[in-house]
Amino acid sequence: MLLVQIQKHIFTTLQTLQTRNVVGWRNIILAYRTLGVVFGGLATSPLYVFSALNFTEPTEDDFLGIFSIMFWTLTMIGFVKYVCIALSADDSGEGGTFALYSLLCKNANIGILPPKGTDSKALSNNSLVIENKSRLQTFIEKSLVSRRTLLFISILGMCMMIGDGVLTPAISVLSAVDGLRGPFPSVGKSAVEGLSAGILIALFMLQKYGTSKVSFLFSPIMAAWTLSTPMIGVYSFCQYHPGVFKAISPHYIVRFFLRNGKTGWHLLGGTVLVITGAEAMFADLGHFNRRSIQA
């Protein structure tokens, strides 16, 4: 009997390890595929930040202030907000604005209409389970105007997400193709716009084949981009301007706004472009999983 129990324990342990290895490799593959879908916009967004800023005669402190804003914007919104907080607020593995609203409706009686297939008795039983309600939750549940306002905010957030999904690819592709005018000055602005339009049409036509095919096509490109760009950037900083690492200190942000005043706040709109595409980490959660995006 003891031998049989030992064999069962060994078999269970091996089966558990095998399951963990399968799940681990699956998360690694999904993390690789996120490069072509989730992080495609976020990785290329810093490209067109400086082109959107209308500096007249920027000084070294101005550049350090802009770099500091870019660094802390990516850290606080990209890492803290989305990776650490938003990804934990999924609705059965789904992300996005409506997923948040659905999650709120499941944990509080704030929906305008009852869910399909749910009778009044189930709703009353569910309301008994929820205890220690906050004042805000009680106020929203009792106020029809507040519940409609919350639904309107959810719809508005979804509309803004769709608008960002339309504008971001156009800006990203146009800025990337416009880089050809550096080594090839003979390329005109009309040629850049026509080539960008052709690339965008081709990209949108590829989307009908599904997320898996698109990620398979773009993940190697984005993997090469995300690996080579930091290496070239760190080498260039160390070789030509090692003082740029001082921008990690947030006090350069304060100095930037104190020195530029109202102009600095106008330039802040351009620096926000650095997080364009960050919302895809939560919106595309249903295509992947939390572990693969966080990796």
pLDDT at residue 125 tops 50: no
pLDDT at residue 3 tops 60: no
Spatial separation of the C-alpha atoms in residues 260 and 262, rounded to whole Å: 6
pLDDT at position 19 is 53
Percent of the chain with pLDDT over 90: 0
pLDDT at position 12 is 58
Average pLDDT over residues 57-77: 85
Of 87, 77, 124, 67, nearest to 243 by C-alpha is 67
φ and ψ at residue 119, rounded to 5 degrees: -90, 175
At residue 60 the predicted structure's pLDDT band, cuts being 50, 70 and 90, is: confident
Of 66, 42, 21, nearest to 169 by C-alpha is 42
pLDDT at position 131 is 56
CB 255 within 8 A of CB 65: yes
Query: Could you read off the pLDDT of 195-250 as tens digits, one per residue?
Result: 888 988 887 887 777 767 777 777 788 788 778 888 888 888 888 888 888 888 89
Indicate the average pLDDT of the chain.
76
Spatial separation of the C-alpha atoms in residues 149 and 136, rounded to whole Å: 14
DSSP state of 112: S
Here the tokens at position 164 are 């960002």
6: left (phi over 0), alpha (psi -120 to 50) or beta: alpha
pLDDT at residue 150 tops 70: yes
Higher pLDDT, 123 or 92: 92
Domain ranges of the chain: 38-294
Average pLDDT over residues 270-278: 78
